[in-house]
Amino acid sequence: MKTLLLKDNDSDIRTAAEILRRGGLVGIPTETVYGLAADALNGSAVARIFAAKGRPMDNPLIVHIAEFGDIKRFGLVSSVPESAEKLAKCFWPGPLTMIMKKSGVVPNEVSAGLDTVAIRLPGHTIARKIIRAAGTPLAAPSANLSGSPSPTTAARVIDDMNGKIDAVVDGGACEVGVESTVITLATEIPRVLRPGGVTVEQLREVIGEVEVDSAVTGKLAEGEKAASPGMKYKHYAPKIRVVLLKCGDNEYIDYVNSKGERAAALCCDEDIPRLSVRCFSLGKRGDFASHAQRLFEELRQLDEYPELDVAYARLPSTDGVGLAVYNRLIRAAGFEVIDLEKN
């Protein structure tokens, strides 16, 4: 299969929509990361997503819509909770996914056998144009091979998916850089299953009590059931080893500089002049939005230097959008944290 590279113009958007209507796969830009889209109401089209990504079949997909009214228009859920309306008013279009009880319209391939469906109204105008032109909601996971860092440019989608999907629409680099916040409204108290661009603090301001699933910052115990199946898999990981260091800035510099030339630093701009190893910077210290935006691209770049075999990063802060960076980085590191403060 030849993968078409499409742009943001009427004729290319129409081409993307036609491919989707006949059951094909298209890489689409969103404000978070690129998605690998198929017609969400066509079970066999959705099954192709799993094949292209090598994704485990028990990991459900997010359904993307172009306006709030699409939930009712396509009959996606049995009823829309009041909290969903409140959250949509504040955060849609944007990086928030809400899980609700699903209706019979949603194919099992999308919900992976669960009785719920995850819905998101993306902030990227090209994403909404494609959904509208296709005339159907789109199921879309991140457009990476399962386990790899998510793609934040069309070129990274091509790296993973060339020849496996029908087309990619180039919408430039993603603004947020990490995937949407996932909150379930199907539990008694709403619960964040994955942190993202909309912070836990922001959610609490709108709907009050919100729990954070233990899998967000920790590792699931052996045999423990994941509320969000995606959380149980090794994820977001480059091929080289990533290690997190719990320490202050000076300890970080000394430790990394002592590691020799096969080591790299996944660091901040301010560290660069003091480091003697190759640096991959996430931006200015404390600029969590920049760290989120650059994380996946820097993780992918680490694999472009065969002379490297380990990258050291500091354990991120869990405040605000920092929590999303923490959640991705700790998985990229396979939960390998060295506590230098203890020694």
**Footprint on this chain of Mg ion (rule: CB under 5 A):** 142
Q: Is 185 in the site for ligand TXA (CB under 6 A)?
A: no
Taking the least distance from each CB to Mg ion, the nearer of 268 and 329 is: 329
Site for ligand TXA in 42-81 (CB under 6 A): 59-62
Nearest to 331 by CA among 232, 265, 246: 232
**205 near 83, Cβ under 8 Å?**
no
User: Residue 17's binding partner, choosing from ligand TXA, Mg ion, none, with beta-carbon cut-off 5 to 8 A by kind?
Assistant: none
Which residue, judged by CB position, is nearest to ligand TXA in the bound state? 230
Q: Is 169 in the site for ligand TXA (CB under 6 A)?
A: no
Q: Is 58 helix (H, G, I), strand (E, B) or coil?
A: coil
**190 near 83, Cβ under 8 Å?**
yes
Place of tokens 């603090």: 201
Nearest to 203 by CA among 70, 326, 79, 84: 84
Mask of contacts with ligand TXA, 221-250, x by CB under 6 A? -------xxxx-------------------
Neighbours of 283 (CB within 10 A): 19
User: Which range binds ligand TXA by CB under 6 A, 115-123, 265-273, 313-321, 329-337?
Assistant: 115-123
**80 near 95, Cβ under 8 Å?**
no
Rounded least distance, CB 141 to Mg ion, Å = 5
- Give the integer Cα–Cα distance in Å for 61 and 49: 10
Taking the least distance from each CB to Mg ion, the nearer of 237 and 267 is: 237
Rounded least distance, CB 151 to ligand TXA, Å = 10
Rounded least distance, CB 181 to ligand TXA, Å = 8
